[in-house]
Chain A
Amino acid sequence: MSRLATWLILAATLTFLIGPFLIVIFAGLSAGEALAFPPQGLSLKWYAKVFTVESFRASFALSMFLAVFGTLAALLIGIPAAYALNRYDLPGAETIRTIVAAPIIVPGIIVGLALLRYFVVPLNVTITLALFVTHTALVLPYAVRVVSSSLNNLRADMEEAAVILGCTRLQAFTKVVLPNIRGGILAAFILGFVASFNEVPASLFLSGPGVRTLPIDMLSYMEITFDPSVAALSALLAFMSVAIVFLAERLLGFSRYV
């Protein structure tokens, strides 16, 4: 293949990957009133407006809450689950692994519909609780898989050594296993956080009056108001994700775990 063709393919790939991101950043910088690209003039007013929209503030808080606590809950379930799958010769362990991975494979729109029809409506649970449960379930596969892969690298005889030196099984877990899979847990947290924060399809079904996650709120905002503030907000969220992953990579070599 010629040099020129190589460069063209590289350029096309980068355009598709980074292009939309750049368009959104610049669309948000527009001085005009409607969402458009290229932007009509330049100003920061839409970036400023984002922070004044009441519903954005509320939905950002909800999304943050779901991303942080949903992921923590997923880890609380996922770490012991990964440990059990890894250390004990459970009957049907393969099946359990497949089921745990299901939320990644099953389309979110089906998960959302099923939860709405058979969980929220019949049990009359609040939307916030339903969202919390959903996000926990959606993040769980990441927690189990990432923690599993760091457990794989940890020899089981290390725990036996700890027990012989006087640890109970639980102490062996907290004093030897946990410190050695700390990196994997942090990686799982970041991955889960980002996945939860960006989740759309399932959350689409689980919105109520004044209770929406940020991406859903942005969708409905756009249906009514077609100004560049949504582009500005999208750019800000993209920067937040990039910053988190960048920090994670610098601090703990994130890419080792995913």
Chain B
Amino acid sequence: MSDAFVSLAGLTLSYGETVAVPDLDLDIAEGELIALLGPSGCGKTTTMRAIAGLLTPARGRIVIDGEDVTRTPANKRGIGLVFQSYALFPHLSAFENVAFGLRLRKRPEAEIRARAEAGMATVGLTGFEGRRPAEMSGGQQQRLALARSLVMEPKVLLLDEPLSNLDARLRLDMRNELQRVQKDTGITMVFVTHDQSEALALADRIVLMKDGRIEQSGPPAELYAEPATRFAADFMGFENIFGVEGPDLVSETGRLPLGYPTDSPILAWRPDGVAVGAGPHSGRVTASSFAGGHREYVIDCPLGRIKANAPIDTAEVPLGRDIAFDLPQATARPLAA
């Protein structure tokens, strides 16, 4: 608590009568890169807007760098925000977009020029000063929006779905760019995403949210390997999740003998964790597709659909044939109810 740079305590956020986030506690260390991860409607964007000051909390406190900013208006908070749509000013040149905040602070012209130029250089946009946002590509617009926030030297930089509007190659570039900027400036960053792969690749710590509450929080590797709940496991790619009843796995459609003891009420396997070709169970192949390094099977069995990945060097089992499989204890992830 004492070393938290950003601290949200008992934060309750609502839109009119609708409570989007009830009673949220979250501490963020200085220089940390946090991902607020969750499906749409989980309260991640609402939380980010509250940190920015665009939304006044119904209850609770927001402390940034030792200062209670709960009632501080957005324009005095010293926070940067890169919008999902970038929200660049179309009537201004790229340079003037970056200089916008500095001009508001009435800095001397020489300082504005130097800092805006340095800001554009940081994101690799030197030479684009005279362009209008409409004359720039999506990736360039995003970097411009990033530069516009960074030149203000904010205490915290918030990013709303920073990679979602970019194509696959630009995503990778931008991801590296964000990591580099974060490493160079040491700035505290909070970004919002619904894409678990983005969160895993970029964040120091993932805060997984559901219905306005924190479902689980931890380093990417921990969330990936050890999700605690059904929701977290589902979000982290455990596509086979079943309840345990006595000696059996159960689902809505049927049951299957587990074959080994467990104390967990729920067990989950990734498609990679399901062994195919041999094992005590058997089911019918209803879908099969080549995915480069492996083959993806969908197997119909009494539990319903099992998703399994088979090594590419094994012989393909044709559609409609039966295939043997195992749900091994070694790859089973026990979950809380």
The reply to whether B152 and A165 form a contact with Cβ atoms under 8 Å apart is yes
Please name all residues of chain A whose beta carbon is closer than 8 Å to the beta carbon of B80 when the two chains form the complex: 164
A152 to nearest B CB, angstroms? Answer: 15
* Interface assignment of B199: CB less than 8 Å from any CB of chain A: no
Interface size class of B (residues with CB under 8 A): 20 to 34
CA distance A161 to B54 in the complex (A): 10
* Interface assignment of B100: CB less than 8 Å from any CB of chain A: yes
Please name all residues of chain A whose beta carbon is closer than 8 Å to the beta carbon of B52 when the two chains form the complex: 164
* Interface assignment of A223: CB less than 8 Å from any CB of chain B: no
* Interface assignment of A167: CB less than 8 Å from any CB of chain B: yes
The proximity string for B residues 76-101 relative to A, scoring 1 for CB distances below 8 Å and 0 otherwise, is: 11011101010111110000000011
The reply to whether A168 and B81 form a contact with Cβ atoms under 8 Å apart is no
CA distance A163 to B149 in the complex (A): 12
* Interface assignment of A176: CB less than 8 Å from any CB of chain B: yes
Q: Which residue of B lies closest to A159 (CB)?
A: B87
CA distance A65 to B46 in the complex (A): 50
* Interface assignment of A180: CB less than 8 Å from any CB of chain B: yes
Please name all residues of chain B whose beta carbon is closer than 8 Å to the beta carbon of A167 when the two chains form the complex: 75, 104
Please name all residues of chain B whose beta carbon is closer than 8 Å to the beta carbon of A256 when the two chains form the complex: none
* Interface assignment of B284: CB less than 8 Å from any CB of chain A: no
The proximity string for A residues 127-150 relative to B, scoring 1 for CB distances below 8 Å and 0 otherwise, is: 000000000000000000000000
* Interface assignment of A158: CB less than 8 Å from any CB of chain B: yes
The reply to whether B91 and A157 form a contact with Cβ atoms under 8 Å apart is no
The proximity string for A residues 165-201 relative to B, scoring 1 for CB distances below 8 Å and 0 otherwise, is: 1111001000110011000000000000000000000
CA distance A215 to B104 in the complex (A): 49
Please name all residues of chain B whose beta carbon is closer than 8 Å to the beta carbon of A162 when the two chains form the complex: 89, 100
Please name all residues of chain A whose beta carbon is closer than 8 Å to the beta carbon of B77 when the two chains form the complex: 164
Interface size class of A (residues with CB under 8 A): 10 to 19
Q: Which residue of B lies closest to A165 (CB)?
A: B101
Please name all residues of chain B whose beta carbon is closer than 8 Å to the beta carbon of A180 when the two chains form the complex: 89-91
A256 to nearest B CB, angstroms? Answer: 15
Partner of A164, one of B74, B85, B88, B105: B74
The reply to whether B87 and A165 form a contact with Cβ atoms under 8 Å apart is no
Please name all residues of chain A whose beta carbon is closer than 8 Å to the beta carbon of B155 when the two chains form the complex: none
* A residues whose Cβ falls under 8 Å from a Cβ of B: 155, 157-158, 160-168, 171, 175-176, 179-180
* B residues whose Cβ falls under 8 Å from a Cβ of A: 52-54, 73-77, 79-81, 83, 85, 87-91, 100-101, 104-105, 148-149, 152
What would 25 A/B residue contacts be, using CB atoms closer than 8 Å?
A158-B87, A158-B88, A160-B54, A161-B88, A161-B148, A162-B89, A162-B100, A163-B54, A163-B73, A163-B74, A164-B52, A164-B75, A164-B79, A164-B81, A165-B75, A165-B100, A166-B75, A166-B76, A166-B104, A166-B105, A167-B75, A168-B75, A171-B104, A176-B91, A179-B91
